[in-house]
Homo-oligomer: A and B are copies of this chain.
Amino acid sequence: MNQPPVIVLVRPQLGENIGKAARAMLNFGLTEMRLVSPRDGWPNPAAGPAASGADVVLAEARVFDSVADAVADCAHVYATTVRKRGVTKPVLTPEDAAGAIHAAAGRSAILFGPERSGLETDDVALARAILTVPINPDFGSLNLAQAVILVAYEWSKGQGLASPPATELDPPAPQEEWEGMFGQIDAMLERSGFYYPPDRVPTTRRTLRGMLTKPGWTTMELRTFRGVLSALEGKKGPRG
């Protein structure tokens, strides 16, 4: 049995909804909540009453300044969106995602966006896959806590029943190592004049980040790749 997924609420607006999400989580055995820049700060007095007793989840919630920081120790990141974005990532149902999380080696994080607007493209870019709840095409109106409860519910089904995770496989490197590698190649490309014209830089960066996240390289493979980059830059250091 691998670790339960981390629920990451990205820029949540209402404390009440954070409380409801905590309640939804604990009903299905999820306890680790992370908050990225909650609009009204943290702790939020409106969260507790809405949690209906799931106080332990709120008390242990951790706050981060960015999505990247919040998922730094996670090997798998899922971005929950209502509709398909123009991104080329696999789209999973909650059931698919629960299966993947149970089968995977390494920690998983599931991102949920702000109540009104959902995740932004840059948040989604950090994720390896998109998680979408298939809903009525004529009436899609899931709120934050409802999205959380469906995902938590599906995950809970695999408890006790899931086949053991493939522990012999090395898990993908944690997110912070990806960020480190991306910082290195980004700086090199900056110096080489790759980022041109300026108005296309954000798109190009996003494309590159998406591509370079795709492999799911292990820590060792990432280290090799950074050795490759250093070699290409003319540093002969150990290639790891």
Contacts and interface: CB of A to CB of B under 8 A. Distances in A.
Interface of A: 23-24, 26-29, 52-54, 84, 88, 90-93, 95-96, 132-137, 139-142, 146, 149-150, 153, 156-157, 161-165, 167, 169-170, 185, 188-189, 192-194, 204, 207-208, 211, 214-218, 221, 224-225, 227-229, 231-234, 236, 239
B214 A90 contact: no
Nearest to A90: B167
Contact of A194 (B134, B163, B231): B231
A142 B146 CA distance: 11
Given A156-B134, A231-B193, A54 B92 contact: no
A153 to B, nearest CB: 6
Contact of A193 (B207, B228, B236): B236
Nearest to A92: B164
Contact of A141 (B27, B188, B215): B27
Given A24-B146, A28-B136, A188-B232, 15 more contacts: A26-B141, A27-B135, A27-B139, A27-B141, A28-B135, A53-B141, A133-B153, A134-B156, A192-B231, A204-B239, A207-B224, A208-B228, A211-B224, A214-B221, A229-B232
5 contacts: A24-B146, A84-B167, A91-B165, A134-B156, A211-B224
A29 B136 contact: yes
A229 B96 CA distance: 36
Contact of A165 (B132, B150, B161, B185): B132
A136 B26 contact: yes
Contact of A164 (B132, B157, B194): B132
A47 B116 CA distance: 21
